[in-house]
Structure 1
Amino acid sequence: MTDNEARTEERRLPRVKPATDIIEREDGFYIYVDMPGVAKSELVIDLNEDELKVSGKAEYALPEGQKLGHVEFGGGEYFRSFTVSHIVDKEKIKATLKDGVLELYLPRLERVQPRKIEIQAG
């Protein structure tokens, strides 16, 4: 394998659809996305209208002086998208990354409580 072939192979990361669990609770939805090896700095979460996109990259550096021969274990590019329901408060979505698992919290919109409307004298 030439150096050029090794560099080309090194740049080509497999694209992976990460394993995901979605749990509905009274207060909202919890999405758990398995993203081992992804650092916070390599994680991107975008919300565009009703689409929530999650992407991240996991790369493992080779020790100095070593060349990549063949890889089946290691880094990858993760991508997943979700449709966000109209009952979710999009302004309050939170994300936490811990031990290779991304937790997204999508809270429900607060329900408007019924109230009496005061009638003004005309």
Structure 2
Amino acid sequence: MTVPAPTGSWRAGGSDDESGAATVVAVAILGAVVALAIGVTGVLGASVASQSAANAADASALAAADALSGAVAGEPCALAGDLARRNGATLVGCRVEGAVAVVSVAVAHGPLRATGSARAGPPGWDR
């Protein structure tokens, strides 16, 4: 009696069928790309908030310095606060050092805050 030869290769523990392996790799790559995109979006959003805070601080300091110089009527820190609000920021600090205005603002970005500060006054002013 003869035993017929096997028609395929045989491995201990399973078959040679690898169908679906490419799907698993594709899903893993897609997941990595989505995670990277979410991370980059968060970093870019924080960068935009930081730049907004810097711009609002600059505008607020200039408004306060204009009030100090008499170019515009009003109280320097009140004008700085108004300009900060118009630029989507909150005035955190404002002080006058002679003819120079120093302001600090904050811009909310989700649960975090981006801050910016600026100093404005006449050229060459050294307190």
TM-score with structure 2 setting the length: 0.36
Larger Rg belongs to: 2
Greater share of residues in helix: 2
| Structure ranking higher on relative contact order (CA contacts 8 Å, 6+ apart) | 1
Greater share of residues in strand: 1
TM-score with structure 1 setting the length: 0.37
